[in-house]
Structure 1
Amino acid sequence: MAGEPGLGDPRPLWRRHFRQRRADQPEAQKRLLLGHALSGVPPMVRADQRLGLYWPLAGEPDLRELAWVLPDRLALPAIRPTAGERRLRYEIWQPGDSLQPDAAGVLAPALAGTPLPATALGLLLVPALAFDRRGFRLGYGGGWFDRLRADPCWRSVPALIVAPASCAVEQLPRDPWDVPFDGWLSDGGIEWLQPVERPGLW
């Protein structure tokens, strides 16, 4: 697409470009993305599991209405100091619970609870500035989700990128440690790169 950064351009240029493109998304497209989430996401999460949601930063798709169709079945990511380093983990959350900035400055459960194991999560939704057709995501550069999903237990949890369809590209620049996602949720719907087989899910 004309005007897009090239693979040789630095990541900050890519981030500026797609942050603006995401901000320019019409309100109708935002509602369409939310509608796809409300109809398509709940059936993917078994009754004994939780949805890994996220607290939206400025410009990110706001999917918090999923709390009303998956009551008491949500978790939020939180960056916590663990064994001398900061790590991303998921903790139980429901509307009304207190929030405070985590170690990366993003709102997370105020009272750090016991980190949930990967088996407790049925699906992860992760926002992005852009994504490509191979399932790679352009984030903010922290690498938190790549490190989490480098663990085979977490890699086995289906994970969808969340971003407007206008932020899709054929190929993003990538690093050797980048971990691809299983598909994406956009205003075009939910698309999987390959079938996700989960006992009892479908």
Structure 2
Amino acid sequence: MSAKASLRQQFRARRLALLPEAQPAIEAQARRHCPALLPPGRHLGLYWPLAGEVDLRSLQALLPNQLALPAITAAPGDPAARLVYRPWRSSDVLEPDGCSIPAPAARAAAPDEGALAAAQLGLLLIPALACDATGIRLGYGGGWYDRLRADPTWAQVPALAVLPRGCRVEQLPRDPWDVPLQGWIDEDGLGHSSCGHPS
């Protein structure tokens, strides 16, 4: 088993154990900080919470017309599969994306129809199993966020990991394709990585 695979098992269990107590505090910190971090007219890139992930869907009440959810445009393994963001309102009907996660539907047969450009996003909140002081995030291994943020236009959008403080570590293994995040949100509030501050 690779070092990252072993760490994923370890932190998945740790995050699951910490989440019941951490959820209310992290949610309160996100509600406190995110509106101020979001430039006027921009969308906040949220995520649909999977089991064990912090649920921040209550931000819909604070930013009712400014949220977006990610969607994987095709099944993993399909060369056309990639992560896009589409606008989301609580009344929208969602459908399973390429990874079977609820996501806003494309407006037409073309998967890019209705997708937001990087310039339309002001902040990305990204679930994490762990995150280190330099902003390296441990995810599930799909690489969707790293591939998106390898694009220089998307790298300009500030991105924060969302996780309990007990899943923050000093250093994680780093692969060449890992793109650091600007910081994190946990029970203590907003933290800044050494790669740069959210703007």
**TM-score of the aligned structures, taking structure 2 as reference length:** 0.90
Q: Give runs of aligned pairs for residues 28-177 of structure 1, distance below 5 A.
A: 28-81=21-74, 84-112=79-107, 113-177=113-177
Q: Deviations over 1:159-178 (max 9, x none)?
A: 00111100011111121110
Moved more, 81-90 or 137-146: 81-90
Instruction: Report which stretch shifted further, 188-197 or 152-161.
Output: 188-197
Provide closer, same or farther for how the CA distance between residues 68 and 15 of structure 1 changes in structure 2, counting only shifts above 3 A. Answer: same
AA aligned to 1:98 is V
Distance (whole Å) between structure 2 residues aligned to residue 147 and residue 49 of structure 1: 22
Task: State how far apart, in whole Å, the 1-side matches of 2:133 and 2:177 are.
Answer: 18
RMSD: 1.8
Tell me how far 1:142 sits from its aligned partner.
0.5
Partner residue in 1 for 2:110: none
Q: Structure 1: 5+ residue runs without aligned partners?
A: 1-7, 198-202
In percent, how many aligned pairs have the same letter?
48
Residue by residue, what CA displacement relative to the aligned partner does 1:79-106 show, whole Å, maximum 9, x if unpaired? 1049952010100111021111101121
Q: Render the CA deviation track for 1:116-135: whole Å, top value 9, x for unaligned.
A: 00010010000011111110
Report the CA distance shift for 1:142/1:84 in structure 2 as closer, same or farther (over 3 A): closer
Could you tell me how far apart the structure 2 residues matched to 1:26 and 1:123 are?
23
Give the letter for the 1:148 counterpart: L
- Residue ranges of structure 2 left out of the alignment (5+ in a row): 108-112
